[in-house]
Amino acid sequence: MTDLIPVTALGDATPRRFSAGALTLCENDAVAFASLALRRGAGRPAPFGLALPGPGGWAAGQGVAALWVAPDQWLVEAEGRAATDFAATLGQAAPGCSVTEQTDGWVAFEIVSQAGPQPLEALLEKLANVDPAGFAPGRATRTALHHMSCYLVRRAAGHVAVLGARSSAGSLWHALATAARRLHANAA
């Protein structure tokens, strides 16, 4: 039997990290994802006590968070549970709903600004069609970033997560790191 070695979405043994000025970009390989959809006639659940958000929303609870992706559909994330069967756990917490494992289909990049929201908002203005003034903490949106479809999640004033297709992880990382590097170089 071949010895299999787990790798991150970017193909490394450990998550990649990059800093440019006040911005730090980190690959988050520990987050689990599962889609949750209501079935016809079902009431809206509150898995793990989490109130599922409405359009354009993102809500965080005790170790889990959810973003609205379509009417009666959410992408639920669980930090630190990528190596578990999170979809099965979510299915038990949301009986009568359709739950599908999504962890291996997505990549999460966390962008944090150590100098408040301004550097982060400047980066967002360069990368995506998002109005930073209206993109407050607790908001999420689907957008195109360098011709790749992704979700942007505003976790806090100085923290945005970029969720994209795992198959595009390298291209997405390159776009984010290049823009952060150029932004820092132009500010210097």
pLDDT of residue 5: 84
Judge contact between 63 and 50, C-beta under 8 A.
no
78 and 100 co-located in one domain: yes
93 and 156 co-located in one domain: no
93 and 117 co-located in one domain: no
Residues 96-152 have pLDDT tens digits of 999 999 999 999 999 999 999 999 999 999 999 898 888 999 999 999 999 999 999
Question: Which of 104, 119, 150 finishes a domain?
Answer: 104
CA–CA separation, 86 and 78 (whole Å): 8
The CATH number of the domain holding residue 137 is 3.30.1360.120
Amino acid at 2: T
- Residue 10 domain-assigned (yes or no): no
173 and 159 co-located in one domain: yes
118 and 49 co-located in one domain: no
Question: Which of 104, 128, 144 finishes a domain?
Answer: 104
Please spell the DSSP secondary structure of 47-99, one letter per residue: GGG-----TTBEEE-SSEEEEEEETTEEEEEETT-TTS-HHHHHHHHSTTEEE
Domain residues for 127?
A: 17-29+105-187
pLDDT of residue 41: 84
Is 90 exceeded by the pLDDT of residue 168? yes
CA–CA separation, 144 and 149 (whole Å): 5
